[in-house]
Structure 1
Amino acid sequence: MTTIFKSYDLWDLVQYGYELPKTKIDALEKDLTEKQAATLKRNRMNDARALGIIQGVVSDTISPRIANEETAKGAWEVLQQDYRGDTKMRKVILQSLRRDFEYTRMRENELLKDYFFRLFDVVNKMKTYGEELPNERVV
Structure 2
Amino acid sequence: MASSTSHQNSLPLPIFSGENYDFWSIKMKTYFMSQDLWDIVDKGFTTTENPSVEQLRQERKEKQRDANALYAIQQAVDDANFSRIMGASTAKEAWDWLKEEFQGTAKVRSIKLQTMRRELENLKMKDSEIIKDYYSRLKGVVNQLRAYGENISETRVVEKILISLTEKYDPVVTAIENSSDISQLSVTELIGSLEAFEKDWVAGMILH
| Structures share fold, TM-score greater than 0.5 | yes
Task: Determine the structure 2 residue equivalent to 1:62.
Answer: 81
Residue 46 of structure 2 corresponds to residue 19 of structure 1? yes
Q: Which residue of 2 aligns with 1:4?
A: 31
1:69 deviation in Å?
0.3
1:41 aligns with 2:60: yes
Which segment is superposed worse, 36-45 or 10-19?
36-45
Residues 14-71 of structure 1 deviation map (CA, whole Å, 9 limit, x = unaligned): 1111112325xxxxxxx651x2332122111111111111112223332211110010
Q: Summarize the alignment of residues 1-139 of structure 1 with structure 2, pairs less than 5 Å apart.
A: 1-22=28-49, 32-33=52-53, 35-139=54-158
Letter in 2 for 1:77: D
In structure 2, runs of 5+ residues without a counterpart are 1-27, 159-208
Measured in 1, the distance between the counterparts of 2:99 and 2:105 equals 9
Bigger radius of gyration among the two? 2
In structure 2, give the amino acid aligned to 1:108. Answer: D
Greater alpha carbon shift after TM alignment, 72-81 vs 113-122: 113-122
Give, in whole Å, the separation in 2 of the partners of 1:13 and 1:113. Answer: 41
Unpaired stretches in structure 1, ≥5 consecutive residues:
24-30
- Per-residue deviation, residues 45-101 of structure 1 (Å, max 9, x unmatched): 111111111112223332211110010010111122123212221121111111211
Alignment partner, residue 27 of structure 1: none
Q: What amino acid does structure 2 have at the position aligned with 1:45?
A: Q
Question: Comparing both structures, which one devotes a greater share of its residues to helix?
Answer: 2
Q: 1:59 to 1:110 in 2, by over 3 A?
A: farther
Q: Give the 3-state SS of the residue equivalent to 1:21 in structure 2.
A: coil
Equivalent-residue separation in structure 1 for 2:75 and 2:83 (angstroms): 12
CA distance in 2, matches of 1:55, 1:92: 29
TM-score (norm 1): 0.82
* CA pair 93-45 structure 1, distance change in 2 beyond 3 A: same
Identity %: 39
Cα distance in 1 between the residues matched to 2:129 and 2:148: 28
